Each structure stands twice: as C-alpha cells, then as structure tokens.
Chains A and B, each alone.
Chain A
Amino acid sequence: MTSLIKSRELFLALILVIGVILIGSYDPVFVRWQNISDMLTETSVLFMLALAQMVVILTRGIDLSVAANLALSGFVAALVSQYYPGVPLALMIAAGVAVGLLLGMINGALVALLTIPPIVVTLGTLAVYRGMIIILAGGDQVNASEMGDVFQAFPKQTFLGLTTPIWIAIGVSILFWLFLNFTRTGRGLYAVGGNPLAARYCGISQGRQEFLAYSIAGAVSGLCGYLWVARYGVAYSEIASGYELTVIAACVIGGVSIGGGVGTVAGTLLGALFLGIVNTALPVLQISPFWQMAIAGAVILAAVVINARAEHRPDKLILPEARRLGRDSGLLRRVKA
C-alpha cells in the first residue's frame, strides 16, 4: 500500500480502472467506444489546461486567469473567422494562440518583473481579460452562424478513430513531457519551485522561469480557446466561467504540490481524466449533477491528505537500533510503536 501511494500515478490509474469497471458493469453503455471517445474529446481541453497550470504551479505560482484567457483568445479567433472568412484555418488558430501567449506574457511580466504575488496578478487579469471581451463585443456574442464552417468543423473531424482535439491533446502532452523531463529549462522549473535560493546559486533565474511558465500557460489557453469556441459554436464573455478551478483541481488530484517543485505530466493527465470520468459517469449513474461539485471537492481533499502523508519527512535516525535497521524496515515501525 505504501509503495503504491509512493507511485501515486499508479495508484490513481488503479482507482480509475476500478471505477470504470464498476460503472461499466452497472451500465455497459459507459464503456462503449463512442462514449469513451466523447468523454476524451470533452476532456481534451482540461488535459491541456491542467498541464499548463502545472507548469505554473511548479514555480510556486498559480494562474487564475487561464479560463478568462481562453475566453478572450477564443473570442478573437471567432472574430477573425467572422470578419476574414477567407483566411486559412491555421491562421485563425494562430491568432488565438498569439493572443493567449500575449496575455500569458502580461501575467509573467507582472509576476516576474514587478514580483507581485501570482494569485493577486492573475485575479486581476482574470477580471481584465473577461472585461475586454465585453468591450470588444459591445455586450454581444459571436454565434455559430457567424463563424466559418471550416472553423467549426475542424474539432469534429476524426483521424484514425480519434477526434482532432484528442490528437492535439496527445501532441501537447508529449511536448510537455519532453520539455519538463529532457530540457534544461524544464528542469529549471522544478528547481525554482523546489528551492528558489538553491536554484539561484546554480545560475537559474527565478524571474525568467516564471515568465516562461505564465507564457506557456497563456499560449496553451489560447489554443484551448479556439477549440472551445469552435466546438460549442458560441463566443461571449462568460464561456468557461470558473473553469480555472476545475483545472487547478485536476492538478491537485494528479499530485501536483501547491507548494511548488512537485508534479508529473502523467499524474496531471490522470487527475484531469479522473474529473472527466466523474463528469460523464454521474448522468449514467443517474446522480444529480449538483453532486458533481461535492464529489470533485471530496476527491481533492482526499488527494491532499494522501499528498501530505507522502510528503511527510521521515523521522531522524538517532537511536542506534534504528540506524542499524534502516528507514524502510518494517521492524523499525514496530520498534517505534
């Protein structure tokens, strides 16, 4: 049990598998490919936003503005498709990503250069970004009929049996995995979050890492903004309202430490998948969606408790008999008890 909790990705995966089997035996529709594909497509934005949020949390930060950023970048992408229908789709998507990146860079600059606490910065920019949509739209919205066909069709296309949002989420996940595990900058993110002072002595600039983290989060939010708007066929100031909390929840469930420096791509993806499964399973189990929040909340608390236990620093080895036995020995626990 202890070793399972240590490898929390395995633990989480096991819970998910058991859960899916249980729900599937209750109602086989749940485990049909169509349902799973829908669920994954629905959750693809959460996968990507959770990874982006994880990168920020790794640096001991938080980005509350990801959903607002998504809404504003998605809105801009929708505007491009409305007023310049002849522009290639790639450019429309690029417009969303570029706006998202810019908004993320604003967050990063405020956090890194002015050293304002991230929660304050992003709480402020959250409101500003949402407000800007209202100003841009004059209180109006962009409807499905106003967006181009190509613009809306892309997220619904499938390739090798998977929808494009799933493919994009897979691609983004691989990039994050490579970035975090096999680049100097990625390692620097963990170092800065784990011990900012020690990182500084190693020549790693905290400000630079923070700026980068918020920029990445912004660019991913922009990409998700396009996917969201195109998939649901509407863009206005309130889309994805409050979604930032779901994103943070996915990270926490996935084992990302709010204290910074701890978190894996696999864990975060599983955390997001967990919430995705809960969301789709509740209707199947005929549980009121009102329970959804309560269940997600309970799971977050459980995850935090498990995290706290895993993070607990081992006692010192002072007693000679304890030193002989070593830390991992089951005997030691009996000695202590």
Chain B
Amino acid sequence: MSDPVLTLTAVSKSFPGVRALHDVSLSLQSGRVTALIGENGAGKSTIVKILTGIYRPDSGEIHVGGAARHFSSPRDAWAAGIAAIHQETVMFDELTVAENIFMGHMPVAATGGVDWSRMRARAADLLERIDAPIPPGLPLKRLSVAQKHLVEIARALSHEAQVVIMDEPTAALSANEIDDLFRIVEQLKAEGHAVVFISHKFDEIFRIADDFVCLRDGEKVGEGPVASVTEAELVRMMVGRPVDQVFPKRDVPIGDVVLSVEGLSNATEYADISFDLRKGEILGLYGLVGAGRTEAMQGLFGITPTTRGRVTLEGRPLAVASPADAIAAGISYVPEDRQDQGAILSLGIRENVTLASLGQYVRGLFLSRPLEIDETRHLGRRLAVKASSWEQRLAELSGGNQQKVVIAKWLATRPKVIVLDEPTKGIDIGSKAAVHEFIGELAGEGLAVVLISSELPEVMGLADRLIVMKEGRIVEEFQRGRWSAEAIVGAATGARRDAA
C-alpha cells in the first residue's frame, strides 16, 4: 500500500467529564473510501471536528502528506486539503451556487474586485467534473438537498481537497439521489482523493467503503478492509461491552394497560407506531439518532399533527390536538433539550414549576400564591433543588438544578404517563445515576414511563420492555431478559437478523 494521505497518531480529546477520544490512530489512503462506524456518541463527530480544525486534540499528531500539521482553525484544514460535507449543509441560501463554491477564496480581478466571469466559469467547470447539471448563477435556495450536497462537493474540489469527509451524506436523500452521490464518490476515488464516509447504514458501508474504522466509547476497537468482515462482526465490535448490572433495576409490580397507541402516523416522519404501556412499566425506545423516536412521541403529545392513529388512555379514546390536551389527559413529555425547550430562564423557580399545571392553583378568579408555593416547595425538596429561595430566577441556577426544576414542572401535572426524551444526555456520571434512580422511583409510584435513549446500557439497564425504531417505524420489540446488545443494535442499524 502507498504512503497514506493523512494519518492521525494517538489522538485524544476530553471535555469536562467526558472522554470523547482516547488514543485513536488511523490512516487514510488515496483512492480509497474509509467508513467510520460506531454507535451514537462513539467519537465519530469528534474525529471529524478534529480533522476540520474545529477542535484541537489534547494530545496526538496529525500528518498530512507526511508533514506534521496543527490546525488552529477550519481555514488551516482547508489549506491542508481537507474538506467536509456535513449532515445539514452549512451554506448561504441567498447567494448563488458559484458564490457558495468560492466563498472565502473568490478569484480576484486586476481591479481588486471579484472576478465574476472567471468565478462563474470555474464553478461551471467544477460542477461539470462531477456531472452535476446545476447553473452556477442559480441562488442556492432553489436547489434540493441532494443538489446542495453536490455544490458542497464542488466546493471541496475548488480547494483541491485531498481528503473529503462525508458525514451522513445520505440522511436526507432519496434512493436515486444516493445512487448519484455514490457515482460521484467512485469518481473521487478514481481521481485519487481519500474519502471518509460516515453512515449508520450497513448496506451503504458495504456498497461504497473499502476500509473501515470502528469506534466505541472514544476508542478504536477495530479496523481493516470491509471485505474481510461481516455485518455481525461489525455490530459486535460496535457494541461489545458487558451491559448488564450497570444500573440496579428496581423490582416494580407491573399493572394494567394505561396507554394504548395504535397505528400512529405522520406523513413524513413516522408510521404505524403501535404499543401498549402498563402502570409501573418502563418502556425503552431505542434507535439511532434520526430514527423518528422523538418525532413520534411529539405526535403523541400534540406538538406536531398526526395523520392517522388511535390513542387510548385508561380505556377511553383520547384525541390530542395540542400539548394542553395531552397534559390535561395526564401525559407529560420532558423534552430532550431542557435548556431550550424546558426552562424559562427569565422566570423564577415557582413560576417555572407551576407553569404546566396552572389550573390546579386557581381559586375563584385568581391564582393562589400559597398553593403555588406549597407545590414548589414539595417538589423542590423532593428533587433536592438547590436555591436561595423558591422565587430565584432560573438564570441564576446551575444547569443541573435547572433540569430538576423542569422535571418538577412535569411532575406537578400529576401525569399517568411520562415520556422522558434522552434524560441523561450531556450530564455527568454522578447526576446520571441519580436520574436513573429517580426514573425507577417514578415507575415504583405507578407511573408509566417511556424512556427514549440512545445509550444502550441505559435502556437495557432500566427498561422492562424495549421497542426499536428504524427509519420512522418500529422494527423490533424485545422483552427484558430476552435481548442482547447485538440483537438490539442489529435491529436499529438494519443489519440482517440472522447475522445478529
């Protein structure tokens, strides 16, 4: 094999409380496609960010074309010949295709201004090279997602990029568009570029990639030619850790069916979501990021409209047209991004805690301040919120305490069913254990819990039953004790079942 175009040697990167990458080495060959695989949070994005100059590694070296490089900004990475095509394209909608391609390095005319005609001509050349029939003068906003990807590829080529990174480029593409994209990837290979391809879809990896690098918990756990492995082996590499006994599972008697969902569907996001949920039960909802779990639960909660489906709560049919309906019926949804979707920083603790259940505190015409304070004190103490007074503004609290206030807000609605969306995302290990214990406590009190989580150990540790979603549909259901990490990840990624 020839000398690698790019090598990472023993690269590590940590964030407060999280080890994102540990001692990872990899090398990219010219004319080959390397697939970067791993579960959510395994460290793939961190590698992309290091390669594109967004993060600086704590230790380790980057060599490009044999020379050591230090990237202190994305511009340095461009200059070294590394270009990335992102999941959601980051470009300028109001500008033309040509301007987008040459943003930051537009050709300059003798007068000192932009040489528009040369820029258009070069843009047309680049687009022709990848067989993309897009007029360079067209505003970007008139292009489809797939066409925008092509413009990004042209932009990468305009930098003479030797390494092209594609971060889940097929996520928003139709089958035909994927074929077109893969044709261009083949062409980039033929021209001698090194391509990094990140995808969760095994069929795509086996179709396009030559080599693979597998990450787990920030460490490299395998690499080699794709032809030498099977899907089952890749899944085992991705998961490969003992997951039982991470969290002590509480023994909770499981009661009657509380919530029954039948055929819940939305035109573009999810279809035929059906499940029963019992009193005291924790139902795990696992899937890859973007599998439609959050969207389906938002539909149930009335945030987004559903097109079809029947919901029954305690035997009575339930029509949810808005979150207010869901709250009134006894369904709570604790959203994933608690800062953005949960906390109102300009208001005090009391006002936040009572916001979703204000009807309970009305006496006569007006809200009763003492009733509000009682409830806030009760829940604040139960969740151990640390604050100088119950009137303190949320902006003055720490992130962890803000989260507790948001959870208190939903408990104040006295829910029968509570949906927790990634409840431990972005919090440290100590707080995680506390949240896990608390989820067990809620179930113990007879609440029915839906736990959306992308962390396998978490769902396997806590859930009584597990539903796996893939591409907007439920693909598998597992009972506690009759599941394996391999089978769950296999179902979520679409690896063949017999392989798992």
Interface residues of A (CB under 8 A from B): 178, 181-184, 187, 190-191, 193-195, 197-205, 257, 261-262, 313-314, 316-318, 327-328
**Which of A184, A194, A261 lies in contact with B358, CB distance below 8 A?**
A184
Contact B367 A327 (CB under 8 A): no
The winner among A191, A261, A314 for most chain B CB atoms within 10 A is A191
Give Cα A257–Cα B347 distance, bound, in whole angstroms.
Answer: 13
Contact B367 A199 (CB under 8 A): no
CB closest chain-B residue, reference A200? B323
B346 in contact (CB, < 8 A)? yes
Interchain CB contact (< 8 A) of A202 among B345, B356, B365, B388: B356
Cβ contacts A to B, 15 pairs, < 8 Å: A183-B365, A187-B351, A191-B351, A193-B346, A194-B345, A195-B343, A195-B345, A198-B341, A198-B344, A201-B333, A201-B335, A201-B342, A202-B327, A313-B395, A316-B398
Residues B342 and A178 in contact, CB atoms below 8 Å apart:
no
Q: What are the residues of chain A within 8 A of B326 when measuring CB–CB?
A: 203
In the assembly, what is the distance between CA of A261 and CA of B346, in Å?
7
Q: How many interface residues does chain B have, given as a range?
A: 35 or more
**Complex-state Cα separation, A193 to B359, whole angstroms:** 20
Complex Cα gap A147–B409 (Å) = 55
> In the docked arrangement, what's the CA distance between A226 and B327, Å?
43
Instruction: Using A202-B355, A203-B327, A314-B396 as known contacts, say yes or no to A182 and B366 having CB atoms under 8 A apart.
Output: yes
Which chain B residue lies CB-closest to A259? Answer: B346
Name the one of A201, A316, A327 contacting B396, with C-beta atoms under 8 angstroms: A327
Instruction: Give B165 Cβ to nearest chain A Cβ, in Å.
Output: 32
Give the chain B neighbours of A182 by CB distance below 8 A.
Answer: 365-367, 369
Q: In this complex, what residue of B is CB-closest to A181?
A: B367
Rounded to whole angstroms, the CA-CA distance of A203 and B410 in the bound complex is 12
Instruction: Evaluate contact between B346 and A198: CB separation under 8 angstroms.
Output: no
Q: How far is the CA of A200 from the CA of B322 in the complex (A)?
A: 9
Q: Which residue of B is nearest A203, CB measured?
A: B324
- Contacting pair B341 A197 (CB below 8 A): yes
Among B351, B362, B366, the residue within 8 A (CB) of A190 is B351
* B319 CB-CB contact with A under 8 Å: no
1/0 per residue, CB under 8 A from A, across B360-389: the answer is 001001110100000000000000000010
Q: Mark B408-420, 1 if CB is under 8 A from A, else 0.
A: 0100000000000
Which chain B residues border A178 with CB–CB below 8 Å?
366
In the complex, besides A187-B367, A191-B347, A195-B343, 17 extra interface pairs with C-beta distance below 8 angstroms are A182-B369, A183-B367, A193-B346, A194-B345, A194-B346, A199-B355, A200-B323, A201-B335, A202-B327, A202-B409, A203-B326, A205-B322, A261-B346, A313-B395, A314-B395, A316-B398, A317-B398
A151 to B440, CA, bound (A): 69
